[in-house]
Structure 1
């Protein structure tokens, strides 16, 4: 049985310190926003590459081309992930860099 204080979320850490104001929606044409998205895309692409166990050997063999073009697959997957909202890295980068630019 789950203790009631866990199921009610009372063990969740409470934020301390000043509350963060909600970030303003980034201007999608801002070069800083585009650079932040590009960095998140590169980061996710690299994560996908590092976490790839490799294609299973099906007996047909992908040849040298499969290995060479795998990075394009990871890049395309990362781009779709960022377009779908990503992991929030671009938003955090944009917020921090735009604050620093003021």
Structure 2
């Protein structure tokens, strides 16, 4: 008896493009969150160096979750632009 390996189908080109578009929107949102000053603590209870080191990871995860739950709609616009550019219609 031969055991067949479990294989997952490769993502389609559209799935790859949408994934990259969502990644780009999340990066944009993380930068906007950083510049907004949202979540910065001040005073005696500020996190110091430890907080400064890991705040970017928290912001990136928050941005990723925002995109996952609908985001701003940038991912869809970016995706459509990439599909048009790839098809030669741009």
| TM-score of the two chains, using structure 1 as the length reference | 0.66
What is the DSSP-based 3-state SS (H/G/I as helix, E as strand, rest coil) of the residue aligned with 1:87?
Answer: coil
Structure 1 residues 61 and 55, CA gap change in structure 2 (3 angstroms): closer
> What is the match of residue 70 of structure 1?
55
Q: Which runs of 4+ in 1 moved over 3 A?
A: none
Report the aligned-residue RMSD. Answer: 1.9
CA distance in 2, matches of 1:60, 1:88: 36
Larger RCO (CA within 8 A; separation ≥ 6): 2
- The size of the alignment, in residue pairs, is 75
CA distance in 2, matches of 1:67, 1:51: 16
The unaligned stretches of length 5 or more in structure 2 are 1-11
Higher helix residue share? 2
The unaligned stretches of length 5 or more in structure 1 are 1-26
> What is the match of residue 37 of structure 1?
22
